[in-house]
């Protein structure tokens, strides 16, 4: 992680190309005050299966917690649960595939 004018630069791997994926994120405080709405559920919808692994349609279920953290559960042959502390934007940077995958909110 590298700091750039009050933001941290996080480098991860793009799951398809294997190349580094870089995203800027704001500096996080140790403890955040929860927002009143509480957690929100969503489905991760894959419109085009770029990798040829997950298929199309609903490929994962998720929760955005009141502090912005996201939990994502992939179903299927190899079920996996991941935590995205940097939120929805970070998740879509890696799994969004430039619009091939989107979110559908289940809670308003």
Domain range list for the chain:
39-105
Calpha distance 11→91 (Å, rounded): 13
* Sign of the CA dihedral with 65 first, then 37, 25, and 62 last: positive
**Is 80 exceeded by the pLDDT of residue 100?**
yes
Please report the pLDDT score of residue 33 as a whole number: 53
Give CA separation, 60 vs 4, 64, 95, in Å.
33, 13, 11
Please report the pLDDT score of residue 68 as a whole number: 93
**Is 70 exceeded by the pLDDT of residue 24?**
no
- Classify residue 62 as exposed, middle or buried by CB count within 10 Å of its CB (0-12, 13-18, 19+): buried
Question: Collapsing DSSP states into helix, strand and coil, what is residue 95?
Answer: helix
Please report the pLDDT score of residue 41 as a whole number: 96
Q: Which of 69, 66, 64, 62 is nearest to 28 (CA)?
A: 69
What share of the chain in percent tops pLDDT 90? Answer: 36
pLDDT band at 99 (very low <50, low <70, confident <90, very high): confident
pTM (predicted TM-score): 0.63
Query: How many CA atoms are closer than 13 Å to the CA of 56, on its beta-carbon side?
Result: 5
Calpha distance 105→2 (Å, rounded): 32
pLDDT digits (tens, 9 = 90+) for 44-79: 998 888 777 778 889 999 999 999 999 999 987 889
List, in sequence order, every residue forming a beta bridge with 20; answer none if it has no partner: 13
Please report the pLDDT score of residue 1 as a whole number: 45
């Amino acid at each position: 992680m590298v700091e750039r004018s009050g933001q941290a630069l996080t480098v991860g791997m793009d799951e398809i190309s294997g190349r580094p994926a870089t995203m800027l994120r704001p500096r996080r405080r140790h403890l955040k005050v929860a927002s009143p709405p509480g957690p929100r559920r969503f489905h991760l919808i894959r419109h085009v299966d770029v990798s040829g692994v997950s298929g199309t349609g609903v490929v994962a279920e998720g929760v955005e917690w009141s502090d912005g953290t996201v939990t994502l559960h992939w179903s299927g042959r190899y079920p996996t649960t991941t935590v995205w502390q940097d939120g929805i934007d970070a998740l879509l940077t890696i799994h969004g595939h430039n619009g091939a995958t989107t979110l559908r909110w289940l809670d308003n």
